[in-house]
Amino acid sequence: MAIKAEGVTRAAEARKKEQAQYWVYLDGEFKRYADARLGLMTHALHYGTGVFEGIRGYWSPEHEQLFVLKLREHFARLQRSVKVLKLKIPISLDELCKTSIELVRKNNFRQDIYLRPLAFKSSEEIGVRLHNLRDSFAIYVTPFGNYVDIERGIRCMVSSWRRVDDNAAPARAKITGIYVNSALAKTEAMENGFDEAIMLTHEGHVCEGSAENIFLLRDGKAYTPPTSDNILEGLTRLGMIELLRNELKVEVIERSIDRSELYVADEIFLCGTGAQISPVVDVDHRPVGDGQVGPVVNRLQKLYFDIVRGRNDKYRHWLTPVY
């Protein structure tokens, strides 16, 4: 046990050393991670006044190419999020895309990666508000693998934590502070022996996972909550709607979903940039369908991974090559 703990510590230290050397972008300059320092009183750290994105890049050994998935769409969403928090990013959408690609190139990553742009209130002072504060903008990039187990399927619980309401803190904008809601739900689920939480809205409708949108399949049709049910307007969600309709010829219906519909669904999956396509095989100790990964989710996963690794020309427009 002691030997294992020592190994874990050594691996963590090695990772930290490596991370210190990554190039990051902060307020108009490329810097080493170790040199990009923020003050203890940074507003966003105390009050959650930041917005962010999570963007994946997939390495393709066949093409010897790194493909960034839906790069422009992510930055377009970031531009919508900043409006909500009255933040300003001083560079254009084109420049945001260009800078990200330049950053990945500078790091010379030739493996799967994750990009994390972050716009935040950076004044170092006390006082909760959005106005009369300095804004900063950063991009961080790191090698990244699977965020949840996407092969065997995951077990979920309906969270005792409700999703934040649009009139309390709008989930439509990817606001750092709102992720306390997700963290409460995720930890509750994991401490109860599940892999992930499914949150409900205040009205009791199925909303989303801690960092994923949700779909269920029943009698050959797919259902997903509408964007007016306090979800993040997920880009993977949009991609899934497109693939279900156009490739699998499955009708997709966006409507409010009752909790008990989770218990009688044939298939359920969560989707998001981090989680990718995660089949759900059990909800609240009730097997989904026969408790195995279902055929529609299987097909969607295959299609998705072919697309993101550049093996499907029809959807090449989802990808931006780095090199």
Ligand X SMILES: Cc1ncc(COP(=O)(O)O)c(C=O)c1O
User: Can you give the binding site for ligand X, defined by CB under 6 A?
Assistant: 54, 182, 208, 211-213, 232, 234-237, 272-274
Nearer to ligand X, 224 or 273 (CB): 273
Angle separating helix axes 295-308 and 235-246, nearest 10 degrees: 110
Q: Which is nearer to ligand X, 100 or 273 (CB)?
A: 273
| Cβ-Cβ contacts under 8 Å for 223 (sequence gap 6 or more) | 215, 216, 217, 252, 253, 254, 255, 257, 261
Q: How far is the CB of 219 from ligand X (least distance, A)?
A: 26
Query: What stretches of the chain show up as alpha helix (H) in DSSP?
Result: 2-20, 43-47, 71-84, 93-107, 179-191, 235-246, 295-308
Query: Which CB, 133 or 283, lies closer to ligand X?
Result: 283
Residue 124 or 254 with smaller CB distance to ligand X: 254
Check if 83 is active-site: no
Q: How many CB atoms lie within 10 A of CB 6?
A: 10
Minimum CB distance to ligand X smaller for 105 or for 255: 255
Other C-beta atoms within 10 Å of 151: how many?
Answer: 9
CA distance 107 to 113: 11
Q: How far is the CB of 210 from ligand X (least distance, A)?
A: 7
Q: How far is the CB of 148 from ligand X (least distance, A)?
A: 12
Active-site pick, 174, 186, 249, 302:
174
Q: Answer whether 244's CB lies under 8 Å from 295's CB.
A: no
Helix axes 93-107, 71-84, angle to 10 degrees: 120
Q: Burial-class residue 167 by CB neighbours within 10 Å (0-12, 13-18, 19+).
A: exposed
CA distance 18 to 10: 12
* Contact (CB, 8 A) for 184 and 161: yes
CB of 303 to ligand X, least distance (A): 16
Distance CA 286, CA 198 (A): 14
Bridge partners of residue 239, in order along the sequence: none
User: Closest CB to ligand X among 195 and 212?
Assistant: 212
**Around 128, how many Cα atoms within 13 Å sit in the side-chain half-sphere?**
5
| Ranges assigned E (strand) in 171-257 | 196-200, 206-209, 213-218, 221-224, 252-254
Q: How many CB atoms lie within 10 A of CB 180?
A: 13
- C-beta of 200: minimal distance to ligand X in Å? 14
Shortest gap between Cβ of 39 and ligand X (angstroms)?
A: 27
Q: Based on CB atoms, which residue is closest to ligand X, 69 or 101? A: 69
CB of 52 to ligand X, least distance (A): 9
318's CB contacts (< 8 A; 6+ apart) are: 69, 70, 239, 307, 308
Catalytic residues: 174
